[in-house]
Amino acid sequence: MNAPAKTEEFAVKIPDGVYAETVLSVEHFTDHLFRFRMTRPAGFRFRSGEFAMIGLMVGDKPIYRAYSIASPSWDEEIEIFSIKVPDGPLTSHLQAIKPGDTVLMRKKPTGTLVLDALTPGKRLYMFSTGTGIAPFASLIRDPETYEKFDEVILTHTCREVAELKYGFDLMEEIRNHEFLSEVVGTKLKHYPTVTRDAAFPYQGRITDLIDNGKLFTDLGVPPLDPVVDRGMICGSAAMLKDTKERLENAGLTEGANNKPSEFVIERAFVG
């Protein structure tokens, strides 16, 4: 038997049923947060707010983690917002990617943070902590969100101010976007808060700000009402549980793709 040629020996085999896409840009926000944009496969369809399995070849093995797609469904590129875990099986490698590198994406997107899982309403709350903002980065850039709701409120809570930058950048991108700025108008409200950084006017966990009513007085809106308000929640398991409890106490019920209702939840995935 002949020994394999050198080129074959080193060629990386992309697994079947997986897209291999090219990284277009990478932006690092803090020591543990970054985003990247990559090419979008021609036949790839998803609904804004869904997640997909994103991965890399590490040695000769693919490693995947679930990531919300942060770009809207109309975008020609795919955007991902990720944490960096120093010893994370995927993110320890993913944080080193550069434009031109190959990133893998499994073909089937899925998820519950989609407009179809909510019954009609007037005001849509998107409650997020940390990288839980990613599915909402997709939805706030989708015109359909503003066709379905008169008012969209994105809350984003992080430990420190530096971690809010991705959200501030999104708002600026929308304001400067020729088409989106018109569609969004004054419908979108951004409510960032921090929990461990004195250098910011908005302080506290979103659950506490719901309990003490500050969220509503700051925004100038009435308290949660199941007739007009809808909700989406994305954060850690504890944050989901505690925020869901507040919505249920206000009379909202949880929905799903096959049973639309007044709010939906999804865990922010950890890489």
SS3 246: helix
CA distances from 202 to 156, 159, 170, 172, 193 (A): 11, 12, 19, 19, 5
95 binds ligand A2P (CB under 6 A): no
The piece of 36-44, 165-173, 219-227, 236-244 that touches ligand A2P (CB under 6 A) is 236-244
238 binds ligand A2P (CB under 6 A): yes
Interface pattern 61-90 for ligand A2P (x via CB under 6 A): ------------------------------
What is the token pair recorded at 259? 């049973």
Rounded-to-integer distance, Cα 24 and Cα 36, Å? 7
CB of 82 or CB of 129, closer to ligand A2P? 129
Q: How many residues bind ligand A2P (CB under 6 A)?
A: 14
159 binds ligand A2P (CB under 6 A): yes
Cite the beta strand spans of the chain per DSSP E.
18-30, 33-39, 51-58, 61-68, 77-83, 102-106, 123-129, 151-158, 188-194, 229-235, 263-267
206 binds ligand A2P (CB under 6 A): yes
Candidates 51, 67, 54; CA nearest to 102 is: 54
249 binds ligand A2P (CB under 6 A): no
Which one among 207, 232, 233, 244 touches ligand A2P, defined by CB under 6 A? 207
User: Strand pairing partners for 33?
Assistant: 30, 83
Which one among 242, 262, 263, 265 touches ligand A2P, defined by CB under 6 A? 242
User: Strand pairing partners for 102?
Assistant: 22
Binding-site ranges for ligand A2P (CB under 6 A): 129-130, 157-159, 195-196, 205-207, 236, 238-239, 242
